[in-house]
Amino acid sequence: MGYKQKILFIEDERDFYGLAVKELAGSGLEFEPAHAADRAGFAGLLNTFQPDIIVADYHLPDIEGPEILRLALAAAPLAPFIALSGTVSDQQGRELEKQGAFKYLPKDRLGRLPGAVAGAICRLAYTRPRILFVENDEDDYKLERKALDDEGLKYLPLWVGGVSDLAAALDTFSPNLIVADYVLGDGTALDVLRLARQKTPLSPVIAVSGSVGEEKAIELFRAGVADFVLKDKLHRLGFSVRRVLEAMRENIRREAAERDLREAVAARGFILDAVQAPFFLADAKGRAVLGNAAAAAALRLPELAGADIFAAPGEYGAEIKKALQGGGKSGAPAIVEHQSGSSTLETHVYPVPAPEAGLPQYAVISLDITARKQAEAALQENMEVLRLFTVHAPAAIAMLDSGMRYLAVSRRWLADYGLGERDVTGLSHYEVFPEIPDRWKPIHRRCLAGAVERSEEDPFLRADGHTDWLRWEIRPWRKADGSIGGIIIFSENITARKLAELDVQRLNTILSEKNREMEQFLYITTHDLRSPLVNIQGFSRHLEQSVQDLRGALAALPLPAAAKAEIEKLAAEEIPEALKFILSGTHKMDSLLTALLKVARLGRLEPKPETVEMNELLKNVGDSLRFQLEAAGGKITCGALPACLADPAVVTHLFLNLLDNAIKYRHKDRAPAITVSGEITGSRAVYKIADNCSGIAAADLENIWNIFHKHAKTAERKGEGIGLPTVRSLAEKSGGSIRAESKEGEGSVFRLELPAAAEDKNAIR
């Protein structure tokens, strides 16, 4: 007696529950049933009965299908959920399947329940397999369990200590997989394999050993073990078990496909010629029963029904004869891969129920797998190229499978992450880097689902406490069938660059603070110097008036002529000349302090940007300069100007300064002519202020932006030398820039760029 599947039935109609149990029992399935009729009964059973499979009615008096499914997935997430209903639509059933149900069946098709349960049992074989451990050392058994648990596998375990207990375990437990120690107290893994072949022939065996030589390992593989793992590398056992389970899943899928095909052949309800591949039914002596046109063409037979397949000419007929004869001897399905001309064919031979007192019959279908074989060869070549590229690439690259296990890594990866010469193949990414932050794991899952993600800079706190800064990109790689096989991680350690950037930010912060301190000091100093300067200027002018009064008083005094002449010289020449120098010096100092105050105020200025309509602003600036412009006989021409995003007061200052300079430093032989134009370039509003002034020498052009600089032609005129430096500073504070072009004697063009407003009807692009 084999393992009995635990099936939980949730059904409020007792009679229907009895019919479902009878249907499953009639199919030959051995199972242990449990029954609940409502929500409370369902919840109670989940605490005492651990179901392998759940079969539930869609409608219960106090709960509906989606809620039943939600509770089932929460309490028994690995148990396949089969929903039954006599009232809901197929669409609702499909919606339930999308939410996680294994299968939906209408109640009027109860005959399909055994097939659905069989499919669920097949699914359990790889989602929650029964694993039999044959190990005479309990500590080693625990280590083997730990290796599987570390891999994240869900399974039902059973442990026996040797070959003597194996037969009973195989009968009662019916394992999906066997893990056996090579050396047991009463036998070896070869004995386990032989007994398993007799009792449970579909159960793969994985052998483990601490010291088996190459000769014994080869003997194990020849005997038919699925894999072999050394005990000092038990961390690979989980990977091996998962790989065997994947192979089992593929076999189960293939068997399901074969079962479907056998049913289709038995029903004979399909249109043969709709099958593009050669397909026919023949008996054991090679007599064709039925077939399609593709089969007749491949066998070179004008009529297929009743024809002798074994006598058909050509390679294809000969291969079919061998396949049918092979199937007849074994009684099992057979798959033969062979050539037919330039094509590679995969021929499947399936035994089908024979007519009463008739010869055994076989369904034969030949699939042209030429393209698949070529694709597989190309994929294998590409995978090898990709692996070699990964290993030898000068960048940090890792290739991982869908379980986040390493397939290949570059030498740079090992070096960048301090892994030395460690062989990480087959190890989990999270095992190699246990310090990986949780925020990266959802990224890995999204990329395994098909996304491509990247980051220009991402901190990675390493296990030793230091932080690496990484630039990375993750992409999925695909198998030949288009499914995602895993991900490729490209990374670059940018820690040095990031630390340099952070250092620059720190120094910029310090510099900004020092600039603020200097501006504050400059403002206070210039303000405090102005008070004594005003006193010096006042007393100097008072002294100048006093000297005039002294001269008037001297004229009336009866002094000797020589003395009077000496005093007159002092009062009329030397003292006034000295006062002139004092007043001139204080005037220069006053101009300098005024300029310094302007610079200090500029440093404290914080522009408040808004949309500025430039044509209106230029009209106001022109009105402010009307007197100077008319006195010089000049003219300002302004086109349609785009709006900008800036502080209106700042923009006014910019244009007032530039236009005033054009008037002030005009050419001596012609009236000033100034043109203002503008356009949008990308996200910038660009304004050009062109004049015909005296121009700037090439040697002076870069110096005009330096504070207090005056070139030769302007040094003799009034001005502090801060106008254009102020313009540049204000433009940059506004998020813009300014530059100048000039030809001495012809004129200058100033190009001012500011952020453009969001939309502008005057914009020229």
pLDDT, one tens digit per residue, over 453-471 is 999 999 998 888 888 899 8
198-241 per-position pLDDT tens digit? 888 888 999 998 877 777 878 888 888 888 888 888 889 989 98
The whole-number pLDDT of residue 131 equals 92
Q: Check pLDDT > 70 for residue 721.
A: no
Tell me the C-alpha to C-alpha distance, in Å, between residue 170 and each of 31, 49, 188, 193, 196: 17, 23, 16, 12, 7
Dist CA 658 CA 8 (whole Å): 89
pLDDT band at 326 (very low <50, low <70, confident <90, very high): low
pLDDT at 344: 81
The SS3 call for residue 19 is: helix
Is residue 289 within 8 A of residue 309, CB to CB? The reply is no
Which H/E stretch holds residue 290?
strand 288-291
Q: Rounded to an integer, what distance in angstroms lies between the CA atom of residue 298 and that of residue 277?
A: 9
Mean pLDDT of the region 735-764: 83
3-state secondary structure 216-246: HHHHHHHHCCCEEEEHHHHHHHHHHHHHHHH
Q: Are 353 and 332 in contact (CB under 8 A)?
A: no
Average pLDDT over residues 277-301: 81
pLDDT band per the 50, 70, 90 thresholds, residue 761:
very low
Cβ atoms 3, 130 nearer than 8 A: yes
Do residues 159 and 141 lie in contact, with contact meaning Cβ atoms separated by under 8 Å? yes
What lies within 8 Å, CB to CB, of 760 at 6+ separation is: 642, 643, 680, 685
Among 617, 624, 627, 684, residue whose Cα is nearest residue 650: 617
Q: What is the mean pLDDT of residues 406-430?
A: 89
| Whether the predicted pLDDT of 752 surpasses 90 | yes
In the numeric block, which tokens belong to residue 664? 């002030």
Residues pairing with 741 in the sheet: 749
Distance between CA atoms of residues 441 and 459, nearest Å:
15
Going by DSSP bridges, is the β-strand pair 673-681/635-638 parallel, antiparallel, or unpaired? parallel
Choose among 112, 158, 162, 150: nearest CA to 131: 158
The predicted pLDDT at position 269 comes to: 38
Q: Would you state the structure tokens that stand for residue 347, as one six-digit string?
A: 């021929």
- Rounded Cα distance, 42 and 626, in Å: 94
Q: What is the mean pLDDT of residues 55-65?
A: 89
**How confident is the model at residue 389, as a pLDDT?**
60
- Confidence at residue 449, expressed as pLDDT on a 0 to 100 scale: 94
Give the chain's mean pLDDT: 82
Residue 677 DSSP SS3: strand
Contact, 750 vs 689, CB < 8 A? yes
The pLDDT assigned to 715 comes to 46
> Which residues are paired to 282 by β-bridges?
288, 362
Interval 114-128 mean pLDDT: 83
Please tell me the distance from the alpha carbon of residue 190 to that of residue 178, in angstroms, as a whole number: 12
Rounded Cα distance between 534 and 586, Å, is 8
Look at 174-178, 267-271, 453-457, 466-470 and tell me which has the smallest mean pLDDT.
267-271
In the predicted model, what is the mean pLDDT of residues 369-382? 70
Q: How far apart are CA 288 and CA 306, in angstroms?
A: 5
* Confidence at residue 146, expressed as pLDDT on a 0 to 100 scale: 93
pLDDT confidence of 330, banded at 50, 70, 90? low
Stretch among 452-461, 517-526, 566-575 having the lowest mean pLDDT: 517-526
The model's confidence at residue 610, banded by pLDDT at 50, 70 and 90, is very high
- DSSP per residue, 116-152: HHHHHHHHHHHHS-EEEEE-S-HHHHHHHHHHHHHTT
Q: Which residue has the tokens 């890792």?
A: 398
What's the token pair of residue 758?
Answer: 């969001």
Residue 512: which H helix or E strand, with range? helix 495-556
Higher pLDDT, residue 321 or 175:
175
Higher pLDDT, 542 or 131: 131
Q: What is the mean pLDDT of residues 358-378?
A: 75
**And the tokens for 422?**
């460690």
Alpha helices in 633-742 (DSSP H): 648-664, 723-733
pLDDT at 77 over 50: yes
Strand 5-10 relative to strand 31-36, pairing: parallel
- Under 8 Å between Cβ of 653 and 660: no
Whose tokens are 């930010």? That residue is 505
Cα(80)–Cα(124) distance, integer angstroms: 8
Average pLDDT over residues 511-524: 68
Segment 164-192 shows an average pLDDT of 88
Whole-Å CA distances, 180 to 88, 409, 544:
49, 32, 119
Q: φ and ψ at 189, to 5 degrees?
A: -60, -25
> Cα-flanking dihedrals φ and ψ of residue 579, to 5°?
-65, -35
More confident residue, 648 or 274: 648
